[in-house]
Amino acid sequence: MKAVPPETLKPRKTPTQARSAATVDAIFKATIQVLLADGAIRLTTTRVAERAGVSVGTMYQYFPHKKALLYAVVQLHLTKFIEAFEATCLTLRNRPLAVIADGMVNAFLDIKTRQPDETRALYKIAAELDTEELRSCTAKRLQGACSDLLDSAKDAKFDNLQDISFTLLTAMNGTTRAVFEFGAQPCMLHILRTQLLVLCRGYLHIAATSLLFE
């Protein structure tokens, strides 16, 4: 499932050859660099083109304006996040509930904190763009991966897996986003990880309709 950008935020074209894909990758990396160095307000397609080592004309071959570029960067960031989370969920299948709970929390935070400055910057950008469909598709994929994983727990059974997954992921995402909005200092991230582990273990233990090996 892939979100379709709003008409005004669609790229002009999608790279199909290795050379053009490398160009777009350079543009994405340059966008993050300019965003972190100068902020969203001062970011321009001209500055990004200079940082990426491409002409402004090349930029416009792919992205008609600044917002379309930023949308594409947010979309790529979320796609990488989803794919990494889904991959971790596959490795945790058929494990005890405690292992699943800890594994999901640690994977979620490891991905989010791998490049904390980028994550913080893109949280702000996403709030300013029309990303409703993108966020909805992201949430559905995460919820599906979480539900399938919980359903595989070797020592627990759940009713209403969709509701439980939604609540769990909302708690994880909401608290994580709040910490990033307050600066995501190392001490804050440590507290976040410690408390989320407690929260998710406890919630899943209580939400299980039966714990098979208690």
Write out the DSSP string of 79-134.
Answer: HHHHHHHHHHHHHHTTS-HHHHHHHHHHHHHHHHHSSHHHHHHHHHHHHHS--HHH
- Residue of higher predicted confidence among 146 and 6: 146
Mean pLDDT is highest, among 6-15, 110-119, 190-199, 204-213, for 190-199
Q: Are 73 and 32 in contact (CB under 8 A)?
A: yes
Give the class (CATH, top level) of 7-211. mainly alpha
**211: closest CA among 119, 120, 96?**
96
- Both tokens of 94, joined, read 């058929």
What is the overall mean pLDDT for the chain? 87
pLDDT score recorded for residue 108: 95
Averaged pLDDT for residues 65-77: 89
Q: Are 150 and 158 in contact (CB under 8 A)?
A: yes
Name the band, by pLDDT with cuts 50, 70 and 90, for residue 190: very high
Averaged pLDDT for residues 110-138: 84
pLDDT score recorded for residue 200: 95
Q: Are 67 and 10 in contact (CB under 8 A)?
A: no
Secondary structure (3-state) at 3: coil
Digit-coded pLDDT (tens) for 22-62: 888 899 889 988 888 888 888 889 999 999 999 989 888 88
Q: Where are the domains of the chain?
A: 7-211
Interatomic CA distance for residues 24 and 86, integer angstroms: 25
Residue 124 in this model has a pLDDT that exceeds 50? yes
